[in-house]
Structure 1
Amino acid sequence: MHGAAVELIKVSKRYGSAVAVDAIDLRVPAGSYCCLLGPSGCGKTTTLRMIAGHEVASDGNILIGSREVGHLPPAGRGTAMMFQSYALFPHLDCLDNVAFGPRMRGVNRDLRRRRARDMLALVRMDHLAGRLPSQLSGGQQQRVALARALVTEPSVLLLDEPLSALDPFLRIQVRAELKRLQTELGITFIHVTHSQEEAMALSDLVVVMNGGRIEQASDPRAVFSRPETAFVARFIGGHNVIALPGRAPVAVRVDRMRLLPAGAAPANGSAAPPATAGGLPLAAANGSLPARVATVEYQGSFVQLRLAAEGLPELFAVIPDDRFEAQPFAAGDAVRAEWFAADAHPLRDTDAAASLAVLEEQNA
């Protein structure tokens, strides 16, 4: 098997007047693991289905390798799709489920069963080849569905939330198996998920979608460390978006926020900044905000505090447990939240507050 690059050029999908995907451009390199990430209704599954050929793009071009495939049926695209429900035939054992695709393509019985056994061995399920789906656990069914998709030797494997039905412990195990298989086979994986953790663990390329558009497409470290928009910063998590009137919006990692009692000297050694008429410090966007502790949550190795600060919908700080134990805070405490300018980076949103409002509405 070998992977093929996938390229979308100004691809849109409309259902009547509703726009599900809005003129997106994306290139997934051959042999890479790409995750389409975003909340429900962001367009990620529709994008996957257009690549597969199960939806027809309203506009734009879809290329797999050097071929324009937008006009081709699913079977002519060199892709295979693994569905969220697994969709195994209940009356067929594992071997015949995996051999079903080659059977429909006219492959003779001995060859298709040999290829099916090879695929079951690849996903470490050959010892259960004679079992029916009802006799398998969820994780085992997932592996059989994966073998059935791979037996057709696709250049691109499309996965629609394949881990969502698994319990958290099993999800981690199967996640590792997916990454192992993708690395060994060298084919291109495009995986739809709403789990930030899943996308970070698996992908070479994370594509964050919102409202039918791509907010950011980068490697996982760049998406987490340097989110480009307020939406990405908040959806990925681990960041505060500080967007105050008259100031360019910035993202600051929550583990870089430092809390001091309201009357303490600033940790950065500078004098406390003067306040504006609205009560916000003049230099707020540069490193300091007055706030009040709203909630305190113990998380084992760290304590997470949600803060109330005027002009911001939310603000968080994360403090290592040993440091919190040495200087605890309680709900209602007046504090000052500080950060170094080097720990903040600008966002490209023209209206970060509006971006956050969109995410609030989607999560409501």
Structure 2
Amino acid sequence: MKEVKGGVCAPLGFQATGIHCGIRKNKTKKDLSLIVSDVMCHAASTYTLNKVKGAPIVVTKQHLLNGEAKAIICNSGNANTCNPNGEDIANQVCELCADALNIKADDIIVASTGVIGQPLDITPFQTHMDKLVSSLNNNGSEAACEGIMTTDTVKKEYAVEFELSGQTCHIGAIAKGSGMIHPNMATMLAFVTTDVAISKEMLNTVIQEVVADTFNMVSVDGDTSTNDMLSVMANGLAKNNIIIDKDADYEVFKEALMYICICLSKGIAKDGEGATKLLTCTVSHACSVQDAKTVAKSVITSSLFKAAMFGKDANWGRILCAIGYCDASYDVDKIEVHLASQAGQILVCQNGRGYPFDEDEALKVLSEDEIDVLINLHDGSHHATAWGCDLTYDYVKINGDYRT
């Protein structure tokens, strides 16, 4: 497996684009994106578990009942959530796009991101759909990525190449996410394309497995969005032997998809609103995978710990505190904690007690922009990793006037 360029257009048979259509006031910001496959795809999605859901999620769920799709359309600047006519607008967007592409509206995945509770006018879609479709091209992934961004400061776009059944295959992806990040299904918005031939059942299975260890292990601020969605389209144009079981090819495909989703997850965490540091918490030797996941996510969601990392303060007591209030099994007297970065590694806690360390050395370690929190529970053979970011003054500034 190797990284390649092209994002969602790296797999055979996919085109993409992104334009400004007028949803966002800033005309320099793209706000409408489209990804299209040359042929029908097997498709699957995971969605937010927030009980308040964006209208596009309701519509997409209906469209994917048959496990097929040919296009993804997404706008930024307005979440189309909590609107009395939200589903009608989402359906109209699909119909406009379907007419322009000469496909069925039911074969379109629709998504939105932005402010919740603001009316979404259909006019920008009506007046710009032809422009959107006519701008589709084989190098349009970057533009599509820009079109789904809100408070993101960097694009999240990846692609990999690998072999299955002697055939060269690809997976490409774009994602957006910076704030309101605490997924319980997938992530803010992530769109994945692949030319791999895989059955509908196996595609749905693999994304559930991968999401559990990637996007569901990310948190920026503890807020689960109303519009979180991960969607995957597989068009089979690589002509590998179709994956219908959990065989060797399935494992190779899963490894490649896992790599892509880890890259996106880390990118989202590092680009957290106002963030200056990526925090990676790895828990080892836990009694169960669930215990390891619970501990790891509890630490990276602790506001006190996140604030300490912003201040470059090796306040390890906040790590123990976050472990202590989570619902997991462990022996406190066995816990060991290291803090690490490119500048080195220091032991700060052993046997659940403080371990003497050099504060100057700790400052060097915590001055890097990527910090590892290594927690050894000495209580089993399972492990897990979670990703987060520090909590800064800028997070409050960004969200204090996000709507206005």
TM-score after normalising by structure 2:
0.25
TM-score after normalising by structure 1:
0.27
Specify the structure having the higher radius of gyration (Cα): 1
